[in-house]
Amino acid sequence: MTLQATYTGLRVLDLSTNIAGPFAAMILGDLGADVIKVERPPLGDDTRSLPPQWHGQATVFLAVNRNKRSVVLDIKTPEGREALLKLVAGADVVIESFPPGVGAELGLTDARFRECNWCVIVCSISAFGSGPLGSKVPGYDALVQAVSGMMSFTGDPAGPTVRIAPSLLDLTTGMWGAIAIMGALARRTAASKGEHIQLALLDSAFTLMCHQVLGFLATGDLPLKLGSGAPSAAPYRVYKAADGEFMLATATDAQFARVCRALDLTSLAQDERFRTVSGRLAARADLDALLSERFGQDTVEVWLQRLHAVGISAGRVNDLRQSLESELTVERHLLIEPDQTVWPAGMPLLRLPVDAEGAGASRPPPRLGEHSVEVLSAVGYDAETIARLTSLTTSRR
């Protein structure tokens, strides 16, 4: 049995938007759950309108919304909310990321959902949580990177403050959401009540910074901007060769000695400044200057061959095209093709980084409202009522 069959028969309502909630729902969908994505008219999920677009669809939306069915509902109307609660009544999991105050204003709260379905698991995702302060503050990934302190030690020492480019707080919060939901499903019994899971991007940020947090609490020293370097090891950074850049990562004195041997610089290993990790950290600038001079004398390929020959972790700094085309990436079979009968050729999707043999994307990301008639008719609505509820002309592929 593949992981795709893990949650066959599970019904998930995805009321969330942007990245974190949709990613959590997609993980469950990839594992076999029937995920119904409820979107508002007329534009749907906030990410549907973002560039870049492919065949009229936003790639951000495509990245985190496969294996779902899309239903359009205007939940600002009483009739739309009633229809939503009918869907909640048949769901196992509800994932929501309403902006601060919106859920309460619409009467779509955890308590209300469980009045309709006492065993439903509700996962609420926000930027700063549900406390008296956090519940009033909206936020996106980049904002939380800034507020959490993460940006303060990201980038080069002499450079401006920068964000980490991938939406790592959204995506990791989505992963924590999926994990928390799995735990709640494992705990649920026929006699148990549902649970309310509350996740915040801020919490994910501090978890990602766990060793920086403990380092600060232990010493009182704030983490510093080190560019590609590391606070606890050296040499551990990007170096420039004659024709490009590569990353060198060492963690022990023995590894440093092997680096020196590979570079024909054995005297460095005996230099009192560099013999220990703590010494190399204290003399980081001097060490980097000596290594940089040496690495500039030959090509990336030459240095990688030498370093790999003595068991040192090193690799070329690739752009995304180079990385996707590399033999290492191809070997992992990360790119998968959805069903070609309903999906234009030329755009693979990334599988989850689990279950490589059974991974698949049997249902491509849905068109807005593609499944409104299918889903709403199953809970008793006729075509005229569905048209009124959705306020959008629905069409299938």
The per-residue pLDDT for range 272-299, each reduced to its tens digit, is 999 999 999 999 999 999 999 999 999 9
Q: Which helix (H) or strand (E) holds 67?
A: none
Residue carrying structure tokens 């068991």: 311
More confident position, 190 or 304: 304
**How many Cα neighbours within 13 Å face the side chain of 303?**
28
Structure tokens at 127: 């930027």
Q: Residue 346: what pLDDT?
A: 73
**Residue among 205, 178, 168, 228 at smallest CA distance from 35:** 178
DSSP for residue 31: T
Residues in the chain: 397
What is the arithmetic mean of pLDDT over 207-226?
Answer: 96
Which residue ranges make up each domain of the chain? 3-208+333-390, 236-317
Rounded CA separation 319/331 (Å):
18
From the options 1.10.3720.10, 3.90.420.10, 3.40.50.720, 3.40.50.10540, give the CATH code of 3-208+333-390.
3.40.50.10540
Domain 236-317 superfamily per CATH: formyl-coa transferase, domain 3 (3.30.1540.10)
Query: What is the CA angle 81-66-76, rounded to 5?
Result: 15
Do the bridges between strand 34-39 and strand 11-14 make them parallel or antiparallel, or are there none, so unpaired? Answer: parallel
User: Which residue spans within 241-298 are E strands per DSSP?
Assistant: 245-249
The answer to whether the beta carbons of residues 192 and 119 sit under 8 Å apart is yes
Which band of pLDDT confidence, cut at 50, 70 and 90, is reported for residue 354? confident
∠ CA 325-329-332, rounded to 5°: 140
* 108-153 pLDDT, tens digit each: 999 999 999 999 999 999 999 999 999 999 999 999 999 999 999 9
β-partners of residue 315 are 247
The answer to whether residues 256 and 274 touch, using CB atoms and an 8 Å cutoff, is yes
**Predicted local confidence at residue 395, as pLDDT:** 40
Distance CA 320, CA 334 (A): 14
> Mean pLDDT score of the chain, rounded to an integer?
93
Catalytic residue among 34, 141, 170, 203: 170
Judged against a pLDDT cut of 50, whether residue 179 lies above it is answered with yes
- What mean pLDDT is predicted for residues 67-73? 96
Residue 345, pLDDT score: 67
Name the band, by pLDDT with cuts 50, 70 and 90, for residue 361: low
pLDDT reported for residue 4: 72
**Which two three-digit tokens encode residue 97?**
């990321």
Q: Give the Cα separation of 249 and 270 in Å (integer).
A: 20
Q: What is the structure's pLDDT at 192?
A: 81
Give the residue among 124, 23, 52, 50 at the shortest CA–CA distance from 365. Answer: 23
CA separation for the pair 361, 339 (Å, rounded): 7
Query: Tell me, what's the pLDDT at 391?
Result: 75
Mark whether 170 is an active-site residue.
yes
Mean pLDDT of 326-333: 93
